Structure 1
Amino acid sequence: MTVNKQQSGSDLVLPIGKALASVGGGLGKPGCVHDDTFRRAFQALLSVSEPSQSIDTFLAKCVEQISVAYGSRYAFIGKVQDLNDRSHIETISCFVDGELTSNMVYPLCGSPCQEVLQKGELYVDEGLCARYPDDELLQDMGLASYYGSVLKDSQGTAIGLVVICDTEPLDLNDWNLPLLRLFAERISHEIERELIEQELRLSSSVFQNSHDIAVIVQNDWKIIKANRTFETMTGWSESDAQGQHIFLLRSDREDDEFYRALTIQLLKTGFWSGELWVKPKNGKIFPVDCTIKGVVDPSTGENKHYIMIFSDISERKYAEERINRLAYYDAGTDLPNRTHFQDELKKVLSQQRDKSARFSVMFMDLDGFKAVNDRMGHAAGDQLLREVADRLRALPGRNAFAARLGGDEFGILVRYSDRNSSIVLTSDQIANQIISAIGHPYEIEGEPVRISASIGVALYPDHGEESKTLLRNADLATYYAKSEGRNRVEFFHDALCEKADCEAAMMALMHKGLREDQFFMVYQSKHSANDERVVGAEALMRWRLDDGTMISPGQFIPVAEETGQICELGQFALRSVFEQLVAWEGLEGAPERVSINLSGRQLMSPIFLSRLEDMVKETGVNTKRVELEITETWLMEDPDHSARLLKALKNLGFSLSIDDFGVAYSSMNYLRHFPVDVIKIDQSFVRDVMSDKSLVAIISAIIAMGHSLDLKVLAEGVENRDQLELLRALGCDEIQGYYFSRPVEADRLKFVHSVAAALSA
């Protein structure tokens, strides 16, 4: 917005004199009938041309002088109340019969003021009431005459008007009609100047009181102004920093190329935003979100200054690093986890430009670990796993990447740089070296312990050219090593594909189970963290053979995921839950909301949505009572596709939750685009929360992030009162776990809910 420089009294004398002379023949010209009116008008304009102490004083003086100059009973200045609506005028200074009066809001429709705003000026010397019969205020006052001139801002927009009016006719001549225009221009300038000064005062206040570092630099990057937070967080006072280059704060984390790219973008767009590291006076660098905005010089069109805002993100980065480490490293051993191992394998495969490069994938399973764990307890088992991890870290050298895949299973990825040596021989030597190291005695809780290891090896490209094939074949070789007596190394060979036949047998068994209703759903209650009342349940699948044998989900779910049969099981689970909810409709003790897990394979099916819609229609289920749980890992594989699918599910009326939250690390930038209602904190965070303070920080960060996005947060795997009380104190909304109830069948769930309701009453 551009405003003309305020004119002083001497600056205005000449243009006022010229204006009066052009229409009236000159100031004080002998023989002129209106000499006294000339003088009054001239003095009135001079009186308001001097700078005023305040906008209110200036406006009051204006309406008084205008009324005196024109000899009218009424004079007022009004502003359009809403520039978008433009239906009302709000007076900002009124002069009536020699006195200032209270302001009012005045409707424009059918009024002379509306015509002024549209045409720029209006003069009615008499008969005003007859001309505007719908203007009630005008009729009540009995006004006969009216003269108004529009107020405009520097962009030419009509923002208000200045008006004189009277119950008697106004007798204005050609020379004094333009005077009101001069008043209008002066008033417009003063109003706009006040608005800009208010904006500047507000901007200055925001600048100084911001919790972020705020700096203004010249286009040569020398600091000219900094706020109080600058001194607090960097240790440099504003006076010390003024005149210094902004690189006063530069750390060694970003190179020259980074700043060259930043400068190029600023020159092109006048804006840059991103993360960088700031080096304060004490040298302890910290990360910030930085935003740089150019301030354009209107005369040259170039950036004259830059405003730089630095937001400290140390706590956020710490939480991100912790979550990222939990996502990619095993908490018990601090080795990379299965996800990290698979990612590393995919990265190595992507780097292979030809098949002359060689590497091996090894799976290692500990022999006798379960016996130690059962005999000495989980604490001893965890200690043993940590010592095994320490030995793996030392072997077999810098070309190896070791990870804990889960339980007592480990993976080792070994790259071979010597193309002349036998990969089989070298792999065998390394694997036996590992077995020897693992076989040395341990001292666990003061007691000597011995275990051994079985290792399966798959070679690239001999035993597979894709990660899935190599991982499967190494796993099959490990299975064979254990079946052949353990404490040995086995390489993959075709005969091991018999294990795949076992998977086929499992698939056939599952088909039979679905046909013969061997699968069924159980339900685990969910509770409010505050008062422990039941707020819903989660549906889980179970498999009971005809002879009563229970097949663990840990056995059949991985096979179903691997083979794609999970889609058929998922359809069964959805229909079972929908039908159960319909059967529960209106029954006392039944849960109001039931959640059910969806597989990533199931969600990727192109016919999933259409089948789901058909099932909703066929069963008549109220989708508002169904919460669909989707794993974070799957969501983050293709966030854009995930967002579209979640929106479609939301449109069908389902509630949505992210299961196992924290495992794959969803950034807030993605999470805010997912239309979810609940995030479930993975039980791996809850299990050791009482003994690991870092987990408390992570859970607290997840809860805060969820609440900032208006999401409910549920913690699963709660097994004792201490965990419950801690999660409640951290602000968790809902709780699920064995502390309240194990998964039970539908009829039993009603009883659990009734008891819980009675206890919480």
Structure 2
Amino acid sequence: MISSHHKKALEVLAFTSSEEDFYNKAVKALSLLTRHKWAVLFIYSRDTNTLKAKAYRKDNKCEAPFNLSLADTPWVSMYLDINEKTNTYCFSHNTEFFVGTPLENACTYQSQLFFDSQGRPLGHIATLHNEKIKQHDEDKHFFHRLSQRISLEYQHFKTHEAILSLKMVESTSHMMAFVDKNYTYRMVSKGYENFFKTAREKIIGSKVGELLGQENFNNTVRKEIDFCLSGNEVNAKYWLAFENSKRIFFDVNLTPCLDGMGNVLGAVVSAHDITETKLYEDRMIEFAHIDSLTDLPNRRYLFERVREQIAKFKRHGGTAVIFFIDLDEFKEVNDSYGHAAGDEVLKEAARRLKASVRQEDIVARIGGDEFIILITDDNDLTHNILESKLLAEKMLSVISQPIDVSNHLVKISGSIGIHLINEKDCSVDDIIRKADVAMYKAKQYGRNRVYVG
């Protein structure tokens, strides 16, 4: 038969409104049970290995909360040996670890851990007095029962807290949803409904792959959800392709939703369409790497690619070939026909050079009338000086064809320096310098020719 004060102790725990309220009611319930001077709830922090104490006196006075280092208390073994969780009592006359706290003269007479569903200590309850008082067997039994009730109420509180969080998902105008472990929508926000132009009733109960597309789900989304369902928070950004070739770039946050027992219920999804921002950023990156006149990669882009090749050669060996092209007597074009005509000549020269190599090869304008071509992964060229010279002579042939500029036929030529890059080359500047020196050698030997450096 449960006594009236035991029953009242259990009733105090019900209907907690917050975690702080829960702890306050737990320690008050313990005070109703004990005949000792203090009832204390110790909350354990794994991160700091400390105990936060909440003490309640029999005269209905709450002591100010204080912290203890677990290592300084006699409860170390109690927390470490969780096999003792079913029946853990600690009787101690050691008061040193209470010095400087409201419990300075107290002795510990009874302590019991309470746990989450995974068997991890959440804390413990204890009764203390400044002199030894005999505790009745009935109270010892109920002490254990109260610790179990505290564990259960804590789990219920956490589950209720999770449900309230999910209810908030429905009311927000942001794109939010709750997806269970079977990849099924269980809750979606108004913002989610509006974005996909699909009634909430149709989304709820459907699979993620049905709404986002099975290919998007299989290739991109599923792995992120799976990682979240294993208990991890996820932030990911990715493109998804929808009907009519529409592509959207999402910034997605996934948060595991746990019940009061620490089990993963599913994933809370928060998504933002940042397509415009992504496209703008990509354009800025492109502008930083593209020559605005010829639409070829610029000096910065070329140097980055050459730097990558150097790193690749150091790891795996290999070769690449670089062609440094300078248009001969280009200043005379500007002087004779004007800078607008000179720009047209540069654009046509760029088009012809690009057409003379493979699509994967890099043709860059590095300034003025200078161009560089980088060719990699072509054994015929990168290992054969003769083949490289033949390609360079083909480039000179196409460059020298007359260019029609405002009804004027403009004829130009070029000088090309060649350098074969290998693992001995250690810097971008050194590689460009060697190709540049070779190009000037070609000019010295009469222009419109090729020189291998």
Tell me if TM exceeds 0.5: yes
**Bigger relative contact order (CA 8 A; separation at least 6):** 2
Indicate the SS of the match to 2:415: strand
Counterpart of 2:123 in structure 1 is 159
Task: Quickly say closer, same or farther: Cα 1:153–1:207, change in 2 above 3 A.
Answer: farther
Match of 1:322 among 280, 283, 286: 283
Counterpart of 1:431 in structure 2 is 396
Residue deviations 1:222-245 (CA, integer Å, cap 9, x gap) = 333334553455444543322333
CA distance in 2 between partners of 1:267 and 1:57 (Å): 29
Counterpart of 1:337 in structure 2 is 298
Indicate the SS of the match to 1:330: coil
CA distance in 1 between partners of 2:91 and 2:421 (Å): 90
CA distance in 1 between partners of 2:432 and 2:204 (Å): 60
- In the TM superposition, what are the counterparts of 1:370-519 in structure 2 within 5 Å? 372=334, 381=339, 383-392=340-349, 394-395=351-352, 398-400=355-357, 402-411=363-372, 428=393, 431-438=396-403, 440-442=404-406, 452-457=411-416, 475=436, 479=440, 489-492=448-451
Counterpart of 2:316 in structure 1 is none
Residue deviations 1:178-229 (CA, integer Å, cap 9, x gap) = 333333432343245435544664577589769675551443x333333455
Report if the CA contact (8 A) 1:223-1:243 is conserved. yes
Report if the CA contact (8 A) 2:177-2:189 is conserved. yes
Report deviation, 1:391: 1.7
Match of 2:141 among 153, 178, 196: 178
Residue deviations 1:437-477 (CA, integer Å, cap 9, x gap) = 34x3448xxxx8x8653312468xxx857698997787567
Counterpart of 2:201 in structure 1 is 239
Report deviation, 1:106: 5.8
Report if the CA contact (8 A) 1:215-1:309 is conserved. no
Indicate the SS of the match to 1:436: coil
Counterpart of 2:384 in structure 1 is none
Task: Say if 2:153 is the partner of 1:190.
Answer: yes
Report deviation, 1:330: 1.3
Indicate the SS of the match to 2:400: helix
Instruction: State the identity %.
Output: 16
Counterpart of 2:250 in structure 1 is 288
CA distance in 2 between partners of 1:309 and 1:361 (Å): 50
Task: Quickly say closer, same or farther: Cα 1:158–1:404, change in 2 above 3 A.
Answer: closer
Report if the CA contact (8 A) 1:435-1:452 is conserved. yes
Task: Say if 2:64 is the partner of 1:104.
Answer: yes
CA distance in 1 between partners of 2:62 and 2:341 (Å): 85
Report deviation, 1:118: 7.2
Counterpart of 1:364 in structure 2 is 326
Indicate the SS of the match to 1:161: strand
Q: TM-score, normalising length from structure 2?
A: 0.61
Residue deviations 1:467-509 (CA, integer Å, cap 9, x gap) = 9899778756754665577xx622337xxx7xxxxxxxxxxxx
Task: Quickly say closer, same or farther: Cα 1:229–1:442, change in 2 above 3 A.
Answer: same
Greater C-alpha Rg: 1
CA distance in 2 between partners of 1:121 and 1:200 (Å): 36
CA distance in 1 between partners of 2:388 and 2:95 (Å): 107
CA distance in 2 between partners of 1:82 and 1:423 (Å): 69
CA distance in 2 between partners of 1:454 and 1:247 (Å): 58
Counterpart of 1:628 in structure 2 is none
Indicate the SS of the match to 2:412: strand
Task: Quickly say closer, same or farther: Cα 1:275–1:80, change in 2 above 3 A.
Answer: closer
The answer for unaligned runs of 5 or more in structure 1 is 1-16, 18-40, 351-358, 498-761
Report if the CA contact (8 A) 2:171-2:190 is conserved. yes
Task: Quickly say closer, same or farther: Cα 1:253–1:156, change in 2 above 3 A.
Answer: closer
Report if the CA contact (8 A) 2:228-2:254 is conserved. no
Match of 1:277 among 239, 262, 266: 239
Task: Quickly say closer, same or farther: Cα 1:274–1:396, change in 2 above 3 A.
Answer: same
Report if the CA contact (8 A) 2:10-2:29 is conserved. no
Report if the CA contact (8 A) 2:176-2:268 is conserved. no
Report if the CA contact (8 A) 1:216-1:305 is conserved. yes
Report deviation, 1:150: 2.8
Report deviation, 1:336: 2.3
CA distance in 1 between partners of 2:111 and 2:173 (Å): 42
Residue deviations 1:161-184 (CA, integer Å, cap 9, x gap) = 2537699x8565444543333334
Indicate the SS of the match to 2:187: strand
CA distance in 2 between partners of 1:480 and 1:311 (Å): 57
CA distance in 1 between partners of 2:299 and 2:96 (Å): 86
CA distance in 1 between partners of 2:175 and 2:53 (Å): 40
CA distance in 2 between partners of 1:398 and 1:279 (Å): 32
The answer for unaligned runs of 5 or more in structure 2 is 79-87, 314-320, 381-386
CA distance in 1 between partners of 2:241 and 2:285 (Å): 25
Letter in 1 for 2:65: V
Indicate the SS of the match to 1:363: strand
Report deviation, 1:250: 4.4
Residue deviations 1:726-753 (CA, integer Å, cap 9, x gap) = xxxxxxxxxxxxxxxxxxxxxxxxxxxx
